[in-house]
Copies of this chain bind each other. A is one copy, B any other.
Amino acid sequence: MNGAESLVRTLIKSGVDTCFANPGTSEMHFVAALDRVEGMRCVLGLFEGVVTGAADGYFRMKGTPACTLLHLGPGLANGIANLHNARKAGSGIVNIVGQHAIPHIECNAPLTSDIEALARPMSAWIRTSPDSRSVARDGAAAVAAAKSSPPQIATLILPADAAWSEADGVAEVTGASQRPDYSPQAIDGAARILRSGGGTLLLLGGRALTERGLALAAGIAGNTGCQVMAETYNARMARGRGRFFVERIPYPIDQALRALKPFSNIILVEADDPVAFFAYPDKPSRLKPEGCEVHRMTAKDENTIAALEVLAGAVGARPRDAKPQQPMELAWPTGPLNPASIARAIAMAIPENAVVVDESISTGRGFFPPTACAAPHDWLQNMGGSIGFSTPVAIGAAIACPDRKVICMVGDGSAMYTLQSLWTQARESLDVITVVFSNRIYQILRGEFDGVGAGEPGRKAMDMLSLDRPPLDWVALGKGMGVPGRAVTTADEFSMALAEASAEQGPRLIEVQM
C-alpha cells in the first residue's frame, strides 16, 4: 500500500471516517485510495470554506473529528476563515493538505507557497510528512491532536511523493491527551460565593450548555438565587420546551454593559471573562462592571458536568429547586414579516430534535426568547465572527445527524460567502432548510457605523453596506445549485413555506424578503 492508502486506513481505524474534500492533482492518490478502502465517506465541496465549515459542524454534533482534504496552500487558504470559526468553537478537525512532491518544492512552481505558515494561525498541531513510511504515524498523531482535550485543529501536510510511495501499513492512535477533571478548590470558591448571596452571575459556556449542564444550573439558580446567563455566542446549546432557558449576554455593547451591571461576582463555567465583540471609542473592552470579581470554576479542558454536579451538591441544590419558567405561547404568525413574526414562525416550525444553525445576525437578534418554547433542539452559533459559517456548518451537522432536521438561518450578506454549500446539500440530499433573510444590506454594519462614531453614512459609504443593486435572487441561486426554493413576503407565506419544508425530506431554501 502507498502512503495515501496507509493514511486513509489509519484515519478510518482511528474513527475518522468522514472526509470533507476539495482535492486537486496533489491529492489524487488519497482520492484513489477511497476506491480501495471501505469505510470513508467522502463529501465534495466546491469551495474550501464549505469543506472546513462542514468539518466544524460535524464535530459540534458528533463530538469526534472529521478530516478535510485540501489542495496545497491556496486550498488551505480558502478554508482558513472557517477554520478560524472552528478553532474558536473548540472543534477538533484533521486537515489533510496536499503538497508538491518534496524535490519539486524548490522549483517554485505556480502553486508553491509556504503551507506551514498558512496553517499556523489556525492549527494547534502541524506536521509535514517527510516520506511515505511516516505518513500513517503522522496521521495517527494528527488524530490524537484533534481528539485531545480541549479538541484542536491538526494540519497534516502530505507531499505527493509521500502519498504515492510505498508505506509500511497502518498506525494506531495513542496518547490523545485526556480531559482533566476539575479543581475542587475552584468549586469550593464558587459554592462560597453562591452561598454568600446577592449579585452573582453563573456564566455558562461549552458543555455547561448541554441539557444536563443546564438542568444542573437551573437547580443551582433555584436554590441559591443566582442569575444564569450564557455567553453571547455558543458553539452548541440545548434549548426548547422543558429545558432551562438562559439569556445570552447581548451583542450590542450598551445592552451588554447594562445586562452585567447588577453583578458583583461572575462565576465562569467553561465561559470566558466577557469582552465586547469590537472596541468602540470611549467604551470598555471588558464587559464586567467596575468592582465585579470574576472567578473561573471550569476551563475548556475540564469536566464541567462533573463540576456542576459537585457544585450542586455543595450548595444543596436538587432538580426540583429549578424555578418553573413562563412558557411562551406558540402560534403561526400572520400579517407582515418582521423580526417578531419571523421568530414566532421559526419557533413553531422547529421540529423535535432539530439542529438550528444561527447566522441570522441583525434580523435574528431577537429570535432567542421566542424560540425557547419550541420543540427541544440544539442551537449552533458563529464562534469566530467570520461570516459564511452557517451554510457549511449545516452540512456537517446534517451528515453527523442524518435523522435530525437542520434549520440554517442566515442573512443574505453572510450567505454569499459560502453559497456553494447549497450544491453539496443537494448532492448529498441533506435534510437542511436554509432560511435566507434578504434585507439587501449588511444591516449590522449600518448599526456599527453609528456605534464606532462614524456618524451617518452618506451615499458612497452606503454603497459599501447595501446589497440592493442588483437584488440577489436567492430562489434562482438555489435553483442554480439544485436546491428547490421559494420566496416569501408575508408571515403567512413564511409559515406555510416552513411547514412544508419541515414536512419534506432534503434541502430546501426559503428567501425571506424583508
A interface with B by C-beta (< 8 Å) = 21, 23-26, 28-29, 31-32, 34-35, 42, 44, 46-47, 49, 73-75, 77-78, 80-81, 84-85, 88, 100-101, 103-104, 107-111, 113-114, 117-118, 120-122, 160-161, 164, 233, 272, 275-279, 281, 285-286, 382-386, 388, 413, 416-417, 419-420, 423, 426-427, 444-445, 448-449, 451-455, 457-461, 463-465, 467, 469-477, 479-482
Q: List 6 A-B contacts (CB under 8 A).
A: A28-B445, A31-B464, A31-B465, A107-B285, A109-B276, A474-B480
Distance from A309 Cβ to chain B, minimum over Cβ atoms (Å): 29
Are B416 and A28 in contact (CB-based, < 8 A)?
no
Are A111 and B384 in contact (CB-based, < 8 A)?
yes
A160 interface neighbour in B77, B278, B459, B465, Cβ under 8 Å? B278
Are A28 and B77 in contact (CB-based, < 8 A)?
no
Q: List the B side residues contacting A23 at CB < 8 Å.
A: 445, 464
Are B110 and A461 in contact (CB-based, < 8 A)?
no
**How far is it, in angstroms, between the C-alpha of A452 and the C-alpha of B75 when the chains are bound?**
19
Are A417 and B279 in contact (CB-based, < 8 A)?
no
**How far is it, in angstroms, between the C-alpha of A445 and the C-alpha of B29 when the chains are bound?**
11
Are B277 and A386 in contact (CB-based, < 8 A)?
no
A32-B117 contact given A426-B470, A479-B473, CB 8 Å threshold? no
Q: List the B side residues contacting A24 at CB < 8 Å.
A: 445
Q: List the B side residues contacting A444 at CB < 8 Å.
A: 25
Q: List the B side residues contacting A383 at CB < 8 Å.
A: 110
Are A461 and B416 in contact (CB-based, < 8 A)?
no
A107 interface neighbour in B276, B452, B471, Cβ under 8 Å? B276
Q: Which residue of B lies closest to A161 (CB)?
A: B279
Q: List the B side residues contacting A164 at CB < 8 Å.
A: 281, 452-454
Q: Which residue of B lies closest to A38 (CB)?
A: B460
A477 interface neighbour in B88, B160, B476, Cβ under 8 Å? B476
Q: List the B side residues contacting A117 at CB < 8 Å.
A: 117, 120-121
Q: Which residue of B lies closest to A479 (CB)?
A: B476
A42 interface neighbour in B49, B118, B464, Cβ under 8 Å? B464
**How far is it, in angstroms, between the C-alpha of A117 and the C-alpha of B423 when the chains are bound?**
32
Distance from A324 Cβ to chain B, minimum over Cβ atoms (Å): 34
**How far is it, in angstroms, between the C-alpha of A121 and the C-alpha of B72 when the chains are bound?**
13
Beyond A34-B464, A107-B275, A473-B480, 18 extra complex contacts between A and B, CB < 8 Å: A25-B451, A29-B452, A31-B454, A35-B458, A46-B413, A46-B416, A47-B417, A74-B85, A77-B77, A78-B78, A100-B279, A104-B276, A109-B275, A113-B122, A160-B452, A419-B420, A472-B480, A472-B482
Distance from A161 Cβ to chain B, minimum over Cβ atoms (Å): 7
A77 interface neighbour in B47, B81, B281, B470, Cβ under 8 Å? B81
**How far is it, in angstroms, between the C-alpha of A514 and the C-alpha of B279 when the chains are bound?**
52
A26-B84 contact given A114-B121, A454-B32, CB 8 Å threshold? no
Are B459 and A35 in contact (CB-based, < 8 A)?
yes
Are B452 and A28 in contact (CB-based, < 8 A)?
yes
